[in-house]
Chains A and B, each alone.
Chain A
Amino acid sequence: MNAYMPYILCMILFSIGIYAILSKRNIIKIILGVVIAEYAVNLMLVLVAYKVGGRSAIFSETQVILPESMVDPLPHALVLTSIVIGLATTAFLIALAIRLYGKYGTFDITRMRELRG
């Protein structure tokens, strides 16, 4: 298996998310597209840190653990931040979707035409 395969799969997942955003008419499906794309990026962030046979970056007093055998811990910290930001975006989008449903009585984006032209 190619070593780049996980990255290519991430890109495919990202493309699925973008496809959903661009082609779907239902607001909820668009939001799901954003979420899928976001997870693809988070997954890629974690993959950057991955190392075959690597272990978590915690030193121990009872056994010798070399820093070389550890995975890079920084992306793990970054991905938490990224997930929290993604949660805030998703929560906001869903709140908007609820308000939009209240105004129009539908989730269909093609029926919301206040801003055309």
Chain B
Amino acid sequence: MITESIIPLFVAIPLAGAFLIALLKRIKGIPDILGVLASGSMFILSILFLLKMEIAQRIIYNIGNWGGFNEVLGRIVGIQLVVDGLTIFMLLIINFVAFIVAVYSVNYMTRYTQKWQFYCLFLLMLAGMNGVLITGDLFNLFVFLEIASLASYALVAFGTEKRELEASFKYAVMGGVASLLILMGVIFLYSNTGTLNMADMAEILTGSEQPALMYLVFGLFLAGFGLKAAMVPFHAWLPDAHPSAPAPISAMLSGVLIKALGVYAIARVFFTVFGFPHQISIILMTLGAISMGVGALVALRQWDMKRLLAYSSISQIGYIMVGLGIGTPLGILGALFHLFNHSMFKSLLFLDSGAVEYAAGTRDMKEMGGLSKKLPVTSGSTLAGAMSLAGIPPFAGFWSKLIIIIALVEASHMKLAAWAVLMSIVTIAYILKVTRFAFLGALKDKYLNIKEVPLLMRISLIILALVCIFGGLLLIPEVRDTFLSPAVRVLISGMGGGV
């Protein structure tokens, strides 16, 4: 029953939801219900795809039914939507986090006015991200990337205070330049290959020899997508933008947006289109190692809880990039698994910081203390997320970091492996700072009357905490073969050819 005709629903449902929310905003409760329903149905759809997909299957949908021209003209005409193992993997992560965040926002966003605008932009961002994942066309990828980015610029400025506006301006200008660089790369590729379809482009590039122009395109794409992914030389916007957004949006931005627009796009373009040339491997590992170090070391001296978590995102993105850069099956498995884990624990930690802000009204860790007595669910779930981030054995984060480090050792990058271990120790240091100063110690007098957060917020925190604790089970061979291995296989099969 899985047919290609339901692929466009991944973009259509959130778009329709956003439109209906804007239309029916006056009716009380409609924005909440539609927001949760739209993201929930996306999550169910992606589970359906995961269960029904056969191994190494590629489902292709031709937009506007231009598919008939393919046989006549002998080349691909029109835009194709493609769903394969990697797409399903990312769709599942993104729609799961989006669903949890939507449930969480029902209570949390009562702090702000104009809740319908929040849900409207949220669904637009979701539509953009899903579009980036399912498209098989390079220019179409750019368009969806812009939809998601524009919605995220607006969401960062949602509070419309000084900080939010300033962070949003910085983010919008840097994101705008990144998009221009990506577009320029797409133009050069189009002028060189005469096609925009990624599979077609990969085929043409395998045969031809155009190194000089390709290096320019590599640079443009690395800078553009690297800026979206917040790798270190391009990271300046992230520590401002992510903490300034409302907590559910910080969770979305740090948890999934930088991965959909940055990491996924880099993996898709460099692995399946360019065939993963050796230079890219070196660049990704170098930038990843620098990101790891800079993010972790700067996070150590932060006192704002969300700012600390934002720097930690940069560091963890470094781990994912290093894993991708190794280029061995084990390294890619580690990178994708760490991507999954990072989405889970980082959204959890950002939602927790939102819960603390909701209950205690502050984000400064010097002001907090002893909150675990008053906020048992929040502090418990923070502990689960923190342990997963720090890489303490039974938690999910440990396994993915372990796989990346083993892959580094296997590929005989001993110094990098040592560096990764060292940085994970620094990770423990900065995340213990959060649990120590925020939740342990003596309770301050002004917090004697605070209450635990509302039910829906607690439910979403508990679900994410459970995923952080039991995420390691994904490595059991049967589970791995349906979820992780198809995604790894897509990236591996793209390698080897190309320039």
Contact = CB atoms under 8 A, between A and B. Distances in A.
Interface of A: 14, 18, 21, 27, 30, 34, 37-38, 41, 44-45, 48, 74-75, 78, 81-82, 85, 88-89, 92-93, 96-97, 99-100, 103-104, 112, 114-115
20 contacts: A27-B169, A34-B176, A41-B187, A45-B187, A48-B191, A75-B187, A78-B139, A82-B183, A88-B150, A89-B150, A92-B153, A92-B154, A92-B172, A96-B157, A96-B168, A96-B172, A99-B157, A99-B165, A103-B161, A103-B162
B177 interface: yes
B204 interface: no
Contacts of B191: 48
B165 A41 contact: no
Interface string B140-180: 00010010001001100100111101111110110011011
A82 B146 CA distance: 10
Given A41-B183, A93-B172, A99-B165, 4 more contacts: A41-B187, A45-B183, A82-B183, A115-B163
Contact of A41 (B157, B163, B180): B180
Nearest to B157: A96
Contacts of A92: 150, 153-154, 172
A89 B179 CA distance: 11
Please name the 5 residue pairs, one residue from A and one from B, whose CB atoms are nearest each other, closest first: A48-B191, A114-B163, A85-B146, A114-B162, A115-B240
A21 B180 CA distance: 13
B440 interface: no
The dominant DSSP class at the B interface is helix
Interface in B173-209: 173, 176-177, 179-180, 183-184, 187, 190-191, 196
A96 B162 contact: no
B173 A21 contact: yes
B143 A104 contact: no
B139 to A, nearest CB: 6
B167 A115 contact: yes
A93 B143 contact: no
A62 B162 CA distance: 64
A45 B240 CA distance: 33
Contacts of B161: 103
Contacts of B168: 96
Contact of B187 (A34, A48, A99, A114): A48
Nearest to B163: A114
B166 A114 contact: yes
Contacts of A41: 180, 183-184, 187
B126 to A, nearest CB: 18
B74 to A, nearest CB: 14
Nearest to B184: A41
Most buried by A among B143, B166, B190: B166
Contacts of A74: 190, 196
A41 B187 CA distance: 9
A92 B147 CA distance: 12
B150 A18 contact: no
A67 B81 CA distance: 28
Contacts of B180: 14, 37-38, 41
Contacts of B240: 115
Nearest to A81: B143
A58 to B, nearest CB: 18
A34 B184 contact: no
Contacts of B176: 34, 38, 89, 93
Contacts of A81: 139, 143
A104 B165 CA distance: 11
A34 B165 contact: no
A37 B143 CA distance: 18
Nearest to A35: B176
Contacts of B187: 41, 44-45, 48, 75
Nearest to B139: A78
Given A85-B143, A115-B240, A75 B165 contact: no
A37 B177 contact: yes
Contacts of A89: 146, 150, 172, 176, 179
Contacts of A85: 143, 146, 150, 179
B177 A18 contact: yes
A57 to B, nearest CB: 14
Contacts of B165: 96, 99-100, 103
B32 to A, nearest CB: 26
B177 A34 contact: yes
Contacts of A75: 187, 190
Contacts of A18: 177
A85 B180 CA distance: 11
Given A45-B183, A93-B173, A99-B160, A112 B166 contact: yes
A21 B139 contact: no
B121 to A, nearest CB: 11
A111 to B, nearest CB: 11
Contact of A104 (B154, B162, B190): B162
Contacts of A44: 184, 187
Contacts of B179: 85, 89
Of the listed residues A41, A88, A96, the one surrounded by the most CB atoms of chain B closer than 10 A to its CB is: A96
Contacts of B196: 74
A45 B185 CA distance: 11
A78 B160 CA distance: 34
A96 B169 contact: yes
